[in-house]
């Protein structure tokens, strides 16, 4: 394949990957009115829900709460809901710290990332170029990773690329992941068409991320201290590590179009497809060591809403509805 052909192929891959994200964010920024089909749900206080294990997520109920960060008891994630004033496109909570990645109001294709302490104090705020896409905290809450899609910042004819940063919350140190050395099949390479997205942390140094080049996405393991990214497996996007760090779930493109979810055992290299027939264009999460969670969009009168589904990580049962009108979940125990 010629260099030109590889660039075109990669542009197509990126266009397909970003299409769902851009469409979703565009809907989110419009704050749609209430839909008659939205179910009624009891409300709860934030203090009441935070007193026990809970799920924190982006509320996608059409109406006044749309886009706000909400919480529900982990034992009843589709039950009573506490809605906060904070609005985010992506939310995550680890070690008492909350990450919020959001579009900047009034600014086209620009984002803001904010990390707050348990008492609401702002620990880190940073403006970013591009449309919000993915965001995660490290398990100890000391690192924040963000991905945005940026128009007009690429060698590609498609005219966009990704910007993925890791920032130390306490010191403000910034690492642009494109600056790390890329190791592929045992040697360092420098592809001009490299893009990265969807970080998931193992600890305060190691992480996994999608790196795409030559028209193909790869799962890569990164080390901030070593300054390296090493490809691990082809055709894996938006990884998410299990709480015990032994498996990584990710989306895989189907030949028929769209994505399904697979889980990789890191020790054995065994990959297992999960029994989801609908297209999963999301960075999945983990409810616990045995259960994967992801968002799916609704259509028709309730277009703009998303529901969360849970499925056993071993593929032993069909997906089940976990929480309606929710997105970007994070488990707090």
pLDDT greater than 80 at residue 73: yes
The widest CA-to-CA distance across the chain, in whole angstroms, is: 60
pLDDT greater than 50 at residue 163: yes
Query: Interior CA angle at 288 toward 283 and 290, to 5°?
Result: 95
| Integer angstrom CA distances of residue 35 from 60, 61, 149, 326 | 11, 9, 30, 15
Given this model, what pLDDT does residue 256 score? 86
Burial class (CB in 10 A: 0-12, 13-18, 19+), 108: exposed
Q: How confident is the model at residue 40 (pLDDT cuts 50, 70, 90)?
A: confident
% of the chain surpassing 90 pLDDT = 82
Residue 123's closest CA among 156, 148, 101, 97?
Answer: 97
- If one compares 152 and 292, the residue with the highest pLDDT of the two is 292
- If one compares 37 and 201, the residue with the highest pLDDT of the two is 201
Q: How confident is the model at residue 182 (pLDDT cuts 50, 70, 90)?
A: very high
Residue 267's closest CA among 294, 242, 290?
Answer: 242
Which residues have CB under 8 Å from 146's CB, separation 6+?
Answer: 101, 111, 113, 128, 132, 134, 135, 164, 165, 167
The radius of gyration of the chain from alpha carbons, rounded to an integer in Å, stands at: 19
Average pLDDT, stretch 265-285?
A: 97
Helix (H) / strand (E) element for 329: namely strand 326-332
pLDDT greater than 60 at residue 24: no
Given this model, what pLDDT does residue 154 score? 46
pLDDT greater than 80 at residue 218: yes
Q: CB-side exposure of 220: number of CA atoms within 13 Å?
A: 31
Long-range contacts of range 259-265, CB-CB < 8 Å, 24 or more positions apart?
Answer: 261/292, 261/294, 261/311, 262/236, 263/292, 263/313, 263/314, 263/315, 264/219, 264/233, 264/236
pLDDT greater than 70 at residue 270: yes
Given this model, what pLDDT does residue 109 score? 87
Average pLDDT, stretch 125-143?
A: 97
Which residues have CB under 8 Å from 144's CB, separation 6+?
Answer: 99, 113, 115, 124, 135, 136, 137, 138, 166, 167, 169
Between β-strands 216-223 and 206-213, what pairing exists: parallel, antiparallel or unpaired? antiparallel
d(CA 226, CA 197): 19
User: What is the three-class DSSP state of 314?
Assistant: coil
User: Which pLDDT tens digit goes with each residue over 92-114?
Assistant: 999 999 999 999 988 778 999 99
| Integer angstrom CA distances of residue 205 from 34, 72, 140, 143, 196 | 43, 31, 11, 9, 17
% of the chain surpassing 70 pLDDT = 86
d(CA 74, CA 53): 5
User: What is the three-class DSSP state of 72?
Assistant: strand
Given this model, what pLDDT does residue 15 score? 43
Task: Please tell me what DSSP assigns to residue 325.
Answer: S
Between β-strands 247-253 and 237-241, what pairing exists: parallel, antiparallel or unpaired? antiparallel
Q: How confident is the model at residue 160 (pLDDT cuts 50, 70, 90)?
A: low
Least confident of 159-163, 238-242, 267-271, 278-282: 159-163
pLDDT greater than 50 at residue 157: no
User: What is the three-class DSSP state of 4?
Assistant: helix
pLDDT greater than 60 at residue 170: yes
User: What domains can you pick out in the chain, each with its CATH number?
Assistant: 3-332 (2.120.10.30)
User: Which pLDDT tens digit goes with each residue over 297-325?
Assistant: 999 999 999 999 999 999 999 999 999 99
Please state, rounded to an integer, the average pLDDT across all residues of the chain: 89
**What are the structure tokens assigned to 115, written together?**
């990390």
Q: How confident is the model at residue 37 (pLDDT cuts 50, 70, 90)?
A: low
Least confident of 20-29, 73-82, 163-172, 294-303: 20-29
Given this model, what pLDDT does residue 283 score? 97
């Amino acid at each position: 394949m010629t260099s030109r052909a590889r660039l075109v192929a990669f542009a197509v891959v990126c266009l397909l990957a970003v299409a769902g994200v851009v469409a979703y964010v565009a809907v989110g920024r419009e704050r749609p009115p209430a839909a008659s089909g939205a179910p009624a749900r009891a409300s709860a206080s934030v203090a009441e829900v935070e007193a026990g294990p809970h799920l924190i997520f982006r509320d996608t109920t059409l109406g006044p709460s749309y886009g706000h960060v909400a919480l529900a008891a982990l034992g009843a994630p589709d039950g009573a809901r506490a809605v906060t004033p904070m609005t985010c496109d992506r939310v995550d909570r680890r070690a008492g710290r909350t990450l919020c990645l959001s579009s900047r109001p009034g600014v086209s294709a620009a984002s803001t990332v904010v990390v707050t302490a348990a008492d609401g104090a702002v620990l880190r705020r940073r403006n970013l170029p591009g449309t919000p896409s993915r965001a995660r905290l490290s398990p100890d809450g000391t690192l924040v990773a963000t991905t945005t899609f940026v128009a007009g910042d690429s060698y590609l004819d498609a005219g966009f690329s990704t910007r993925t940063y890791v920032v130390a919350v306490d010191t403000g140190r910034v690492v642009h992941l494109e600056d790390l050395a890329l190791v592929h099949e045992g040697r360092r390479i420098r592809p001009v068409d490299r893009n990265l997205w969807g970080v998931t942390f193992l600890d305060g140094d190691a992480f996994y991320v999608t790196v795409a080049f030559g028209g193909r996405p790869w799962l890569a393991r990164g080390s901030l201290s070593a300054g390296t990214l090493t490809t691990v497996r082809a055709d894996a996007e938006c990884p998410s590590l299990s709480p015990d760090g032994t498996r990584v779930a990710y989306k895989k493109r189907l030949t028929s179009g769209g994505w399904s979810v697979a889980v990789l055992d890191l020790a054995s290299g065994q990959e297992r497809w999960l029994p989801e027939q609908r297209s999963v264009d999301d960075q999945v999460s983990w409810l616990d060591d045995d259960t994967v969670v992801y968002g799916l969009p609704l259509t028709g009168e309730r277009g703009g809403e998303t529901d969360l589904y849970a499925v056993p990580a071993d593929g032993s049962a069909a997906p089940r509805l976990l929480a309606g009108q929710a997105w970007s979940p994070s488990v707090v125990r």
